[in-house]
Chains A and B, each alone.
Chain A
């Protein structure tokens, strides 16, 4: 059996004429509305996995012809249902003659190329890519076909999950979301426990099934990322985080190499150690070999709603150490 994911969320008031209120007979219409909205949420809960912004933009060295450079990226936790990623960003192309190429790359998967016209300023572009079949991965925004450093610049953008639309198998998804079967609610059908139970825990399952970020710090991979050979910590950034649920845990993900990230968070220091390999290189055309470096789980149950995190960076061994992306991700484990 299949289910159909509606294209809109119904705003119908179920307590007026829909039979979902005390003292009314439950009607198929009201049940179908709930079923449709339930499925809509299952297919369209699409939180962001990273936000990027820099007043000077994320650029790179020249990438002429068919070559590409990664402007910036982020670590992403696995989404079990195999959803792709979407990126919407604002780009500028300073070239007066060359239309540059943009694409998203998720691990080894390169998304379709979108052209950015020569001379484009603050232009919003949408990019997509399929996500790896399993495991955490690194996603990057790539630009190509520009002959001068920093001709193509990303100013700001958000990575978020792609939605599910159309006809889907009514079997539960890998992340555990159980679709409702609207067609099973009819005047002549009994109202069964199974059909009612298909609603249970839907929003929570959708929430748990969609990894998301509550804040991130990002630098471009070529010019401006903090780099050091010092084995003493240096402050590299501050950010405020806000809880999205009363009880939640987070993990800090980092992209970097040869170094150790320290986050001073709620009176505790949490470290993320990056390896000597698997770090960022703007010339990568395949990000599947990159490490998603994760901290231990941080419980925010006793934290205030809004709190500051101070970040420090050092070289682990004295070798040149670079960190390009720090992502505070909701931990569902």
Chain B
């Protein structure tokens, strides 16, 4: 899992970043302190954009993914944050069967026919054909899905990320 936005404390160090006094003054003599702030600001900017973000789709008891006993197919959309080029899915389901995304990636569940316990399917680092979104703008992506009969999907969790850890 990626770091939280504040994992390195930048969001919580506001009070520590003050330099100089309250009135404007030349700080050329305090370059070391200024440098710290500038580096931190750049890091904050990066964190804000590619920090982890999740979206949970579905979850309704009226079967937003369709009844367990029937196969279903369609499209799922999600808002990919700026710079996102990696998408992972986690499926929360019961029964037996597969959920196939973009005809390539399959999430499988087999916890026994008739089982009535909620359990995890899989949460894997699937890159589902998502290209990097336009710089700085969230982009709406859509993927095809196909759910097999016998699979009762309750929730689909989406995780966004970058394939690289640094932007600059």
A-side residues, CB < 8 A to B, are 7-14, 20-22, 25-26, 30-31, 34, 37-38, 40-41, 44-48, 51, 53-56, 88-90, 122, 124, 155-158, 160, 163, 190-197, 199-204, 206-207, 214-217, 219, 224, 226, 235-247, 305-306, 308
B27 in contact with A192 (CB, 8 Å):
yes
Separation of A263 and B35 alpha carbons in the complex (Å): 47
Q: Which residue, of B11, B76, B140, has the highest number of chain A Cβ atoms within 10 A?
A: B140
B41 contacts which of A51, A89, A199, A216 (Cβ < 8 Å)?
A: A199
Separation of A197 and B41 alpha carbons in the complex (Å): 10
B37 in contact with A196 (CB, 8 Å):
yes
Instruction: Name the distance in Å between B44's Cβ and chain A's nearest Cβ.
Output: 4
A157 contacts which of B1, B49, B77, B154 (Cβ < 8 Å)?
A: B77
List 7 A–B pairs whose Cβ atoms lie within 8 Å, in order of A's numbering.
A38-B41, A55-B63, A193-B23, A203-B44, A238-B92, A245-B6, A246-B6
User: Does B113 reach chain A (CB closer than 8 Å)?
Assistant: no
Instruction: Name the distance in Å between B132's Cβ and chain A's nearest Cβ.
Output: 11
User: Does B34 reach chain A (CB closer than 8 Å)?
Assistant: yes
Known: A193-B23, A242-B52. 13 other contacts (CB 8 A): A9-B136, A10-B168, A26-B35, A41-B45, A44-B137, A53-B58, A124-B140, A196-B20, A202-B45, A203-B11, A206-B48, A246-B7, A247-B6
A9 in contact with B135 (CB, 8 Å):
yes
> Which single residue of chain A is at the shortest CB-CB distance from B157?
A240
Instruction: Name the distance in Å between A279's Cβ and chain B's nearest Cβ.
Output: 18
B4 contacts which of A192, A193, A246 (Cβ < 8 Å)?
A: A246
Known: A160-B138, A163-B137, A247-B6. A26 touches B34 (CB 8 A): yes
Q: Which residue, of B38, B65, B154, has the highest number of chain A Cβ atoms within 10 A?
A: B38
Separation of A202 and B31 alpha carbons in the complex (Å): 20
Number of B interface residues at 8 Å Cβ cutoff, please give it: 73
B-side residues, CB < 8 A to A, are 1, 4-7, 10-11, 14, 17-21, 23-28, 31, 34-35, 37-39, 41-42, 44-45, 47-49, 51-66, 72, 74-79, 81-82, 90, 92, 118, 135-138, 140, 142, 147, 154-155, 157, 159, 167-168
B168 in contact with A200 (CB, 8 Å):
no
A244 in contact with B54 (CB, 8 Å):
yes
Instruction: Name the distance in Å between B2's Cβ and chain A's nearest Cβ.
Output: 11
Q: Which residue, of A26, A41, A240, A305, has the highest number of chain B Cβ atoms within 10 A?
A: A240
Separation of A31 and B38 alpha carbons in the complex (Å): 8
Instruction: Name the distance in Å between A152's Cβ and chain B's nearest Cβ.
Output: 16
Separation of A214 and B52 alpha carbons in the complex (Å): 12
Known: A9-B136, A51-B57, A51-B79. A199 touches B37 (CB 8 A): yes
> Which single residue of chain A is at the shortest CB-CB distance from B16?
A200
A196 in contact with B27 (CB, 8 Å):
yes
Chain B positions within 8 Å of A21 at CB level: 35, 39
